[in-house]
Amino acid sequence: MAFGYTILGFGSGGSAFSPYDADYLIIAGGGAGGPSPGGGGGAGGYRTSFPGGTKISLDAATISITVGTAATGGTGSTGTGLTKGGDSTIGLAAGNFSSSGGGSGVNDGFGTGDLNDGGSGGGTPHQGSPKGDGNIGGYSPVEGYDGGQSGGGNYSGSGGGGASGAGSNASPGHSGAGGPGGNGLANSITGSSVTRAGGGGGAGWVNAPSGGSGGTGGGGPGHAGNPGPAGVDGTASTGSGGGGSAYGASGGVPGGAGGTGIVIIRIPAANAPAALAVAPGTNTVATDSPTGDKICTFTVDGTLTLA
C-alpha cells in the first residue's frame, strides 16, 4: 500500500479557479481641510481602466475590498486630530491593487510630516510652504495632482489637488481670496457619467472676501471671516477633499472632513461568472442596460464573491 497525499486543484472537486477580467474605478478617501485658515484637502487617488484601459484579473473566488476612509479635520496651531485620507484596495491573489489617500491642507510648519502628500496633494495654509505632492503611489497615468502653494505673501490657504488638475494658489496679500480646489474627473463605468474626486478649497484670511471654491466632483469649499465657520466636508463616496477652515480663536475651528472613497468593478457580460455576490448589503450589484455587464459598487469595506 502506497503512502502519500492526493493533490487536488484549487476549489471544490479539484477544479482550478478561472480568473475573470474586469474594469475598475478605485478612489481613495479624500484629505481634510486645514485649520485657521487652512488649505483645502486633496482628493483621494483616482485610478480607472474604463473605458479602454487595461483590465484587472479577478483571480480568487473571494476578493476583499477596502474603501478609503475620510480624513478628519484638525484644530489648533498644530492641527490636533488631523489625518489624511485612507487608501482604497482591491485584494487580489496576485497582490493588492490600490489608490492612495488624499493629503490634507497643512504642512511641515504644523509638525505633521507628510500628511499633505497623497493621491492628490493638500493645499498649504496661511503663509504655508511647501505644497502637498500628488500621485505618491507613482502610478501612470497619475492618480492625482499637487495642491496649491500659498507662500509667505499669501495669507489665505491654497486649494487641494483634484483628479484632473492641481489646486490653485491663494490670491496674494492680507485680503486675497482662498485658492480653489482642483477639479475632479468624470467617468461612466456605472452607465452614467459621474464626476468625482475634486479638491477642497482653501480658506480665506481675516480680510479675505471669500474662501476658495471646491473642485468639481464634490470638493468642499473653504470659508473666510473672523471668526469664521469650519470648512465644508467633501462629498461622501467621491473621495473629494474638505475645505479649509476660516480664522478662529486659537485655531479652534476644524477643517472640513474629506469624502469617503469608492470602489466600482465592472465585469463584461461575456466574461461574467455564473453567480456573484457582494457583502455587506450596503454594497450593490447592478446589471447595465443594454450591455448586460455586472457592476459591483462598494461604498464600505466588503467582499466580492465569484462562482
pLDDT by 10s per residue, the chain, length 307:
333 333 333 333 446 789 999 999 999 999 999 987 899 999 999 999 999 999 999 999 999 999 999 999 887 666 778 899 999 999 999 999 999 999 999 875 555 567 899 999 999 988 887 889 999 999 999 999 999 998 888 899 999 999 999 999 999 998 899 999 999 999 999 999 999 999 999 999 888 899 999 999 999 999 888 777 888 999 999 999 999 988 765 556 788 999 999 999 999 999 889 899 999 999 999 999 999 999 999 999 999 999 8
- 119 touches 99 (CB < 8 A): yes
Residue 123 forms part of a structural domain: yes
Residue 156 forms part of a structural domain: yes
- 295 touches 190 (CB < 8 A): yes
Torsion angle defined by CA atoms of residues 257, 259, 216 and 88, in that order, rounded to the nearest 10 degrees: 130
**Omega before residue 172 within 30° of 0, cis:** no
Q: Kindly give, in sequence order, each residue whose CB lies less than 8 Å from that of residue 37, ignoring residues fewer than 6 positions away.
A: 125, 126, 155, 156, 157, 178, 202, 203, 204, 205, 208, 211, 222, 224, 228, 244, 245, 246, 247
Q: What is the pLDDT of residue 15?
A: 62
Domain that holds residue 88: 16-307
Q: What is the pLDDT of residue 14?
A: 46
From the number of C-beta atoms within 10 Å of its C-beta (0-12, 13-18, 19+), residue 229 rates as middle
Q: How far apart are CA 63 and CA 283, in angstroms?
A: 14
Residue 206 forms part of a structural domain: yes
Q: pTM for the complete prediction? A: 0.93
Residue 235 forms part of a structural domain: yes
Question: Tell me, what DSSP letter sits at residue 14?
Answer: G
Residue 218's nearest CA partner among 189, 247, 261, 255 is 261
Residue 141 forms part of a structural domain: yes
Q: What is the pLDDT of residue 113?
A: 61
Residue 292 forms part of a structural domain: yes
Residue 230 forms part of a structural domain: yes
Residue with cell 503663509: 127
> What is the count of structural domains for the chain?
1
**Omega before residue 141 within 30° of 0, cis:** yes
Reported as type and span, the H/E element at residue 17 is: none
Q: What is the pLDDT of residue 161?
A: 98
Q: What is the pLDDT of residue 4?
A: 35
Residue 10 forms part of a structural domain: no
Residue 90's nearest CA partner among 20, 194, 146 is 20
